[in-house]
Amino acid sequence: MNYVSTRGGIEPMSFKDTVMSGLAADGGLLLPDEIPDVSDRLADWQKLTYRELATEIIALYSSISSKDAAALVHRSYSAFSEPEVVRMVAVGDLQILELFHGPTLSFKDIALQFLGNLFEALVEERGGELNIVVATSGDTGSAAIHGVRGRENMRIFVLHPHGRVSPSQRRQMTTVSNENVFNVAIDGTFDDCQGIVKSIFTDLPFKTRYSLGAVNSINWARILAQIVYYFFAAFRTMESTGLEGARFVVPTGNFGDIFAGYLARKMGLPVTRLVLATNENDILSRFFESGTYALGEVHTTISPSMDIQVASNFERYLYYRLNGDPAAVGRAMAQFRDSGSMTVERQAGEPVDEWISSGSADTQQTLEVIRSTYKDHGYLLDPHSAVGVHVALSLEGAGEPTICLATAHPAKFSESIGRAVGSKVARHEMLDRLTDMPEQFTVLPSSLVAVRGWIEESLSAG
Ligand SMILES: *Cc1c(COP(=O)(O)O)cnc(C)c1O
């Protein structure tokens, strides 16, 4: 399978080149040139373990043999505490899909453990080295660091918004002492960090000179690894309900996670609906209600990994929404860049997307659903997952099987959980261990020049 750009300006690329380059050279995002229809394999796939299913899906989208894919998958998920990688828990009428049983306790481990192993295999195969640059709103950074720490010929540079990630999230990054890990706190928002990383990657001479690689959710391999749990969870839910299909509620920031669900649906998985859930940063839920994608202000919330205005994966969705027309994608993105807003056309009375609906939860509603879920079911939701559950509880069609993605362990956000339920109940020994460990990070202004200089300096020192 080959990969093409959403802007149409490059020759088709191999899977391996796609993973290594992250962003397309024309500034677009990379997508497979076709989405395989697996409808006739669903009955067979239903019998597979999580790891077997991951192996099938990865082999389908790549040039990696099934044997090598299986080895990568086994290495990637060996550090997970659940035998089937993810876990499903019934909470009232909802199915909670716990995706946070990896080494840094967020769903991002599922993709980033895989990507770390994949990068290592590719660097070994091709020789040379790889320097990863990544922006994080909290969870990506630690998951990426844990995917890359200690690996040979690889370094990782992580930008997080200073003071805007939770203390636990920060410590999960800044207490890692491997020599190939570099943390920087940017005086700005996550969008500032992401903007700097995007500029670094569009500077091709710089990117080539320093062998830069991307692990933000613009990297196709991350989306790929996330497709797997939509299949796995839908299968388990279809078994337990005897019904054909399920809907998914997805706490959303950069649109990577829900986009994986969108592809699973395109592949033939009977997903009845994808429900996008946002916090006060609701550019995406407003889009799916109105058809207009319009920049607002960034709000700092208790679900910081969703404090995002410009969703980096949205362009991938837009490509399909605009019928795979790269010129139309280019025009829409240019319009958004120049005016802060763009609108997709639709027939009067038609939804913006027949598969995707949306909703949002503010801080009060998020705290309330954490409190009521704990009181009624004894189950603790982290604030991101709680945004999804709030939206799920407001959906019509009570009998429809509903899977809510739980994207982080509540202990990562113990301060907010404490606010909701009145005591420090959300703990995890892995996080407790970090509280007294020394932290290492550099503070820089929100400036491309400063960050570029810091990367160059760190590389020449090492
Ligand atoms: C990253 C993250 C999200 C948002 O996922 P996207 O793929 O960016 O939409 C939601 N919850 C948690 C806990 C996260 O870390």
6 CB-side CA count, 13 A? 26
DSSP string, 175-208: T---TTEEEEEEES-HHHHHHHHHHHHH-HHHHH
Q: List, for residues 169-181, the tens digit of each pLDDT value.
A: 999 999 999 999 9
- pLDDT band, very low/low/confident/very high, at 6 (cuts 50, 70, 90): very high
Burial classification of residue 65, based on how many CB atoms lie within 10 Å of its CB (0-12 exposed, 13-18 middle, 19 or more buried): exposed
Report the run of H or E that residue 14 belongs to, with start and end: none
Cβ(111) to ligand 1 under 6 A?
no
Overall size of the chain counted in residues: 462
Residue nearest to atom 8 of ligand 1 (CA): 254
Ligand 1 centroid – CA 245 distance (Å):
24
The lowest-confidence range among 79-88, 104-113, 423-432 is 423-432
Residue 408 has pLDDT above 90, yes or no: yes
Whether 424 sits among the annotated catalytic residues: the reply is no
- pLDDT band, very low/low/confident/very high, at 138 (cuts 50, 70, 90): confident
**Rounded mean pLDDT, 270-278:** 98
Residue 66 has pLDDT above 70, yes or no: yes
Report which of residues 167 and 315 the model is more confident about: 315
Report which of residues 22 and 411 the model is more confident about: 411
Residue 462 has pLDDT above 80, yes or no: no
Q: List, for residues 338-366, the tens digit of each pLDDT value.
A: 999 999 999 888 999 999 999 999 999 99
Q: List, for residues 148-207, the tens digit of each pLDDT value.
A: 999 999 999 999 999 988 888 999 999 999 999 999 999 998 889 989 998 998 888 999
The answer to whether residues 172 and 430 touch, using CB atoms and an 8 Å cutoff, is no
- pLDDT band, very low/low/confident/very high, at 312 (cuts 50, 70, 90): confident
What domains are there in the chain, each with its CATH number? 87-104+221-427 (3.40.50.1100)
**Ligand 1 closest atom vs CA 308:** 8
Pocket test for ligand 1, best of 224, 257, 275, 390 (most atoms within 8 A of CB): 257
**Rounded mean pLDDT, 35-51:** 98
**Ligand 1 closest atom vs CA 139:** 15
Mean pLDDT of the chain: 95
Would you put residue 22 in left (φ > 0), alpha (ψ -120 to 50) or beta?
left
**Rounded mean pLDDT, 277-306:** 93
The answer to whether residues 350 and 371 touch, using CB atoms and an 8 Å cutoff, is no
Ligand 1 centroid – CA 295 distance (Å):
19
